[in-house]
Amino acid sequence: MEQNPDLPQLAILSTGGTIASRIDYRTGAVTSQFDADDILRAIPRLGEIARFRAHQVASILSENMTPPLWIDLARGIYDEIRNGANGVIVTHGTDTMSFSASAISFMLDTPVPVVFVGSQRSADRPSSDNVMNALCSASAALSDLGEVAVLMHASTSDDRCAIHRATKVRKMHTSRRDAFASIGMPPLGYVDYPSLAVSLGDDTVRRRSGEADLHDAIEEKVGLLSFYPGMPADLIAQFEGYRGLVLAGTGLGHVSTASIGALRDLIGGGCHVVMTSQCLYGRVCDRVYDTGRDLLALGVIEGEDMLPEVALVKLMWVLGQHDDPGEVARLMRTNLRGEIRRCSCNGF
Amino acid sequence: MDFEKLGLKAGIEIHQQLNTKEKLFCRCPTRLRDFEERNGEFFRYLRATESEMGEIDRAAEEEMKVMRGFTYATYDTTCLVENDEEPPAPLNTEALSIALTIAKMTGMTPVEQVHVMRKLVIDGSNTSGFQRTALVALNGCLPEGARIETLCLEEEAAQRVEGETFSLDRLGIPLVEITTAPDMHTPEAVQEVARTIGMILRSTGCVKRGIGTIRQDINISIADGARVEIKGVQELDLIDEVVRREAARQVNLLAIRDELRRRNASVTPEPVVVTSLFADTKSPILQRATYIAAVVLRGFDGLVGREIQPGRRLGSEMADYAKKCGVGGIFHTDELPAYGVTAEEVALVRERVGAGETDCVVLVAAPKERALCAAQQVVRRAELALGGVPEETRKLLEGGSSSYMRPLPGAARMYPETDVLPVRIRAKRWEVIELPELISGKAERFAAEMGLDEALARQMAYSEKAGVFERAVESGVRASLAARTLLGTLRELSREGVAVDRLEDAALLDVLTRAESGALAKEAIPGVIAEICGGLSVDAAVSKVAPAMSEDELLALIRAILSTRAEFVQERGMGALGPLMGVVMKEARGKADGRLISELLKKELRQRV
């Protein structure tokens, strides 16, 4: 298929997303058939916006995503940027899209937009959100944005898409088109449809010149545990041998007094433990109640206002880069990619 | 018209809403709402998708000529499934049971597994862009000998409120779709078959009633014509007229074809731009137009304006096709000069496009892209006229004529609904289905066993109140009283604006038994029912409209009657009890219980004898 040489260059990397997919009648699942021609045939208007290079990093359901695939993806994006792409679109299943987006966010320092996009309604139905999301993602990938983002419907209507920061976004609904929400901050911006006009907030990291920087080492031996009332302490002990554990505690960041002993052993064994909150909104503070103070005394790291999954991915990455416990703790408490905000915003 | 000679073949598809508690693929109630009750709106686009064969359905493609957005109204009785924001729930088993009952009533064979399919519909009436439909049974037959080909369970579409705005309350209500073979050869036969199927559906007691709850699509063709499907016929009595008019339309289109062939007519596929000719026109539409295209139809003069159905011309058909591109309509030289277009302007156009006297010129005025799209559609319809009758899906117009909607859907239209698991129909489930009594049989029984005259029996059997009627008669109410109340009184009250549809069967039964026992005067029935509909309990309504006499009042009444009839009492002794009972009952006008009257009367009489 002819592409217009006067248009800017974009790259599309697929991990098994639904931009150009069909039903597989054997399994009933949606499969993607993926090259630039397929995409342009499915969504002709893309060809009026940019030139496209496309390649497939994986073809999986997003629940089967793994840290090694994040590394493949980060390298693929890095190569595209080095080869002159003005922006990169990553199509991804929505279930674990925010994990992958935040992983790329930590691994890759990008001067151009890297936009993750998916669809909540499969491409085989006339009402699919795939065409609108894809067109808006292309527009966002050409915009002034200069960070990793997730782009999906802003509401149930086909009127605009929201651009979310990769480290502050979460899938908050099982099925709605507007399932993705920025947590603890407003979206970075919006893309109107069908005009495809992009508006970015002041907070957004802007496109810049210079090279992309890749640090793709990941420590996989990190866990995430959501505390619940009556949770037996030996569940914590199961993480023995892990290099890191993120806890999703209650409220301000608590686990039961009965868990303290097991955590002491774990930390004593060299595991880095980071506390986040099941509340998702707000900041962890372990200085208010006794249990919290006990946790701090053990060496539990306060995860500030990081989302539990983002803290998990960040801890994997930090441990991939550093061994020194003091440096690990310092980095976990330091904002690297917008995952920690200096101030908690009004409202939620 | 001799329809058999014309080779008329007709079949019907009947769509009947089922009165289930919940919708077909979600757990929302099947309740219709007022548009004013909506609690939200959203906006969507739909686009035709390729089938698994990589084809786009021709009917869907037609709807896609313009990118259309749709607005949907939501209610507190609709959910994310209607919004196309949640996968469908499993198939409603209550709806499936009703569908299977209907299938068994018509001697059909159920499928082993019910597979839900998606039928592409992108006119906005389904948020998903498809209608879910499932084949339930095959091959039945009707008493008249007409064959039923299939019975499907489908979801009802959203109701169009106006323009491109739809209401989601109706979307997802279960429907059965019954398709007959094209076995009917006269308009009357079509109507008769529709009537019979309607009667069978109602006999289940599980279908919705009222306007819009049953719709017929009619498939019609004549020899040398083409299959045309006319959608959305709601009135049974209009069916024969619809068939007659469609047969006539096909006859007339064939006559036009023959005349075109005789004239060696042809269509010039490239439209000519004539915008500049109308720079100073008096026609308001052409004045506003930024682009005017002319299509030359060689040899078509006089035929575009020829009537093919009451109120419809070949030109109307061309206009229908053109409207798919978002234009308001077309002009053609058979109807000009008119609408502000002068004879001079017509002559200028004819000259510019090189049209002779035997040619017809069609004008389309709109923004460029739409005008060119519409011109192409006119060319397409004109070429179809050279071939006779095109296969089409058509929309019913008032009176029985029809307008073009889209081509008949092709095979690319259906594909599997992968979000709903198939349902197995086990032999046991089929065997235990009990067949309900047919309404026609019920009418005969009401006449024979309950002494109602034939017309009244028939009316009673078809009524929604047939069940209450039977229960009332079983509990001792006279059939005539029950029928008169359930048919006559309720209708009269409804005409007076009383909300009789709120009336519960139990309350009606209570009122009827009180009236039968004499505890309530028959004259008081309408007043009592009106009060119940207004929200009172049966007891409260009775004491408000027909308050019971106190024992003292009743005693005074009895004594007064006994004194004026002293002679009769002397003469008959205790034998006067029977005749006097009637007198007191009449005077009490249902305000006292019959047993109490009898007791007091007996006591008073004994003292005097």
Q: What is the pLDDT of residues B498-547, one digit of tens each?
A: 888 878 899 999 999 988 887 787 778 888 999 999 889 988 888 888 77
Q: A195 and chain B: CB distance < 8 Å anywhere?
A: no
pLDDT at A205 over 80: yes
Q: CB–CB of B118 and A159 under 8 A? A: no
pLDDT at A26 over 60: no
**Position B53 confidence tier, pLDDT thresholds 50, 70, 90:** very low
Taking CA–CA distances from B60, the nearest residue in chain A reads A126
pLDDT at A41 over 80: no
pLDDT cut 90: percent of chain A above it: 78
> What pLDDT, on a 0 to 100 scale, did the predictor assign at position B321?
95
Q: Are A155 and A191 within 8 A, CB to CB?
A: no
Amino acid found at B104: K
> What pLDDT, on a 0 to 100 scale, did the predictor assign at position A19?
56
Lowest mean pLDDT among A310-324, B294-308, B569-583: B569-583
> What pLDDT, on a 0 to 100 scale, did the predictor assign at position B566?
86
**Position B444 confidence tier, pLDDT thresholds 50, 70, 90:** very high
Q: CA-CA distance, B381 to B145, in Å (whole number)?
A: 38
Q: CA-CA distance, B410 to B417, in Å (whole number)?
A: 18
Q: Over the stretch A61-105, which tens digit does the pLDDT of each residue have? A: 889 999 999 999 999 999 999 999 999 999 999 999 999 999 999
> What pLDDT, on a 0 to 100 scale, did the predictor assign at position A236?
96
* Of residues B49 and A115, more confidently modeled: A115
First-to-last C-alpha distance (Å) of chain B: 83
Q: How many cross-chain Cβ pairs, A to B, lie less than 8 Å apart?
A: 63
> What pLDDT, on a 0 to 100 scale, did the predictor assign at position A88?
98
Rounded mean pLDDT of B319-338? 93
> Is the bond leading into A5 cis (omega within 30 degrees of zero)?
no
Q: Which of A126, A158, A61, A340 is nearest to B69 (CA)?
A: A158
pLDDT at B251 over 70: yes
Rounded mean pLDDT of B586-602? 79
Amino acid found at A262: A
Interface of A with B in 25-84 (CB under 8 A): 25, 28-29
> What pLDDT, on a 0 to 100 scale, did the predictor assign at position A61?
84
Mutation pick from A45, A133, A155, A156 vs chain B, by most beta carbons of B within 10 Å, is: A156
**Position A142 confidence tier, pLDDT thresholds 50, 70, 90:** very high
Task: Give the distance from residue A157's alpha carbon to the nearest chain B alpha carbon, in angstroms.
Answer: 5
Q: Which two tokens stand for residue B566?
A: 């002293």
| B418 interaction partners in chain A (CB closer than 8 Å) | 23, 28-29
pLDDT at A306 over 90: yes
Lowest mean pLDDT among A206-220, B49-63, B442-456: B49-63
Q: CA-CA distance, B249 to B228, in Å (whole number)?
A: 11
**Position B366 confidence tier, pLDDT thresholds 50, 70, 90:** very high
Q: CA-CA distance, B335 to B509, in Å (whole number)?
A: 64
Average pLDDT over chain B, rounded to an integer = 91
Residue among B45, B50, B86 minimizing CB distance to A175? B86
Q: CB–CB of A124 and B49 under 8 A? A: yes
pLDDT at B60 over 80: no
Q: Which two tokens stand for residue B338?
A: 């008119």
Residue among A23, A29, A125 minimizing CB distance to B130? A125
Q: A210 and chain B: CB distance < 8 Å anywhere?
A: no
Residue among B50, B52, B85 minimizing CB distance to A177? B85
Q: CA-CA distance, A191 to A140, in Å (whole number)?
A: 7
Q: CA-CA distance, B153 to B253, in Å (whole number)?
A: 36
pLDDT cut 90: percent of chain B above it: 68
Q: Are B457 and B482 within 8 A, CB to CB?
A: no
Q: B129 and chain A: CB distance < 8 Å anywhere?
A: yes
**Which ipTM did the prediction report?**
0.91
Q: CB–CB of B52 and A22 under 8 A? A: yes
Q: A128 and chain B: CB distance < 8 Å anywhere?
A: yes
Q: Are strands B392-396 and B402-407 parallel, antiparallel or unpaired?
A: antiparallel
Q: Are strands B266-267 and B116-120 parallel, antiparallel or unpaired?
A: unpaired
Q: CB–CB of A131 and B47 under 8 A? A: yes
> Is the bond leading into B579 cis (omega within 30 degrees of zero)?
no
> What pLDDT, on a 0 to 100 scale, did the predictor assign at position A21?
60
Cross-strand bridge partners of residue A247:
A225, A275
Amino acid found at B331: F
Lowest mean pLDDT among A234-238, B278-282, B408-412: B408-412
How open is the CA angle B466-B467-B470, to the nearest 5 degrees? Answer: 85
Q: Which two tokens stand for residue B435?
A: 């067949």
pLDDT at A28 over 80: no
Q: Over the stretch B183-205, which tens digit does the pLDDT of each residue have? A: 999 999 999 999 999 999 999 99
Task: Give the distance from residue B115's alpha carbon to the nearest chain A alpha carbon, in angstroms.
Answer: 13
Amino acid found at B145: G
Task: Give the distance from residue B155's alpha carbon to the nearest chain A alpha carbon, in angstroms.
Answer: 17
Lowest mean pLDDT among A142-156, A193-207, A254-268, A286-300: A286-300
Q: CA-CA distance, A328 to A317, in Å (whole number)?
A: 10
Q: B35 and chain A: CB distance < 8 Å anywhere?
A: no
- Count of CA atoms in the C-beta half-sphere (13 A) of B501: 4
Average pLDDT over chain A, rounded to an integer = 92
**Position B274 confidence tier, pLDDT thresholds 50, 70, 90:** very high
Q: CB–CB of B416 and A194 under 8 A? A: no
